[in-house]
Amino acid sequence: MITFTKVRNEWMLRLPISPVPFRSGQEVTVTKRNGGTSTATLGMFVMSTGDAQIWSIAQAPRATENVGDLSGIIALFDTARAHLRFPAITLDGFRVNVAGQRAREPGSLTVTGIERTHASRFGRGMVRQYFGRVTRAGVYEPSRGAPDGIGQHLRAFAADPAGQAAEHGRLHGCCCFCNRPLRDERSTAVGYGPDCAEHFGLPWGARTVAAPSVSPAAPRNVARSIASEEALDRAG
């Protein structure tokens, strides 16, 4: 008989030892305390208790959302990587960075909470809550714990990265790239600081995006990310 059991404040499944091994993704019939039954999908094996084994319950994935063409956002990050090791952009209630080569999908966007609020699973300090990722094809896959409405923000950001960055700064009085308060009136007017403007290849003050140090990189990077999007399209 398979029953529900609470382990560390989380509902899990208690399975009898079986000669036929259970597997992740398998649908099972669970006997409830009132004698009724329901079905659940096995997540991962958690532990063995001697006469039983404990498995997590697989949750139905949340609906994905198409947020549009990411090439503008990717171009910002491509420019920034020449100046910063871990460029990130903070918008309303979340933070975006580009997944590195060791990620499940390198080059996708990782979306997290802003502050480090969650203990790391590996016991190494605190981490930001994972809100999901945006694939290179522009599909937002929210995590189970992601707040609602992030897909909508991401769509606006993809459509006009520089505009959204500027609006965030004007609205909150701090730069979306480095989170520092905007003090200079030119920074307040444009919505981000001069250093970050240079790092991300954006206009600031009297300077424009056509500044010599920036202009050769930006169009090429846009072209490159569009080319890789097309390669992905062909592959899919």
Question: 23 vs 183, which CB is nearer to Zn ion?
Answer: 183
When the beta carbons of 151 and 169 are compared against Zn ion, the nearer one is 169
109 in helix, strand or coil?
Answer: strand
For Zn ion, which is the closer residue by CB, 91 or 196? 196
| Per CB under 5 A, 84 contacts Zn ion | no
202 binds Zn ion (CB under 5 A): no
Residue with smaller CB distance to Zn ion, 142 or 193: 193
By CB under 5 A, the residues from 176 to 195 that bind Zn ion are 177-178, 193
The alpha-helical segments, DSSP class H, found in the chain are 71-80, 150-159, 161-172, 185-190, 194-200, 217-235
Among 146, 196, 202, 218, binds Zn ion (CB under 5 A): 196
Q: Kindly state the smallest distance separating residue 131's Cβ from Zn ion, in Å.
A: 22
Q: Which of 2, 150, 175, 197 binds Zn ion (CB under 5 A)?
A: 175
Q: Across the beta sheet with 37-48, what order do the strands follow?
A: 3-7, 10-16, 52-57, 37-48, 27-31
204 scored as a contact of Zn ion (CB under 5 A): no
Q: Which of 60, 136, 80 is nearest to 105 (CA)?
A: 136
* Secondary-structure breakdown of the chain: helix, strand, coil percentages, each rounded to the nearest 5: 25, 30, 40
DSSP letter at 64 equals P
Q: Provide the binding-site residues for Zn ion, judged by CB under 5 A.
A: 175, 177-178, 193, 196
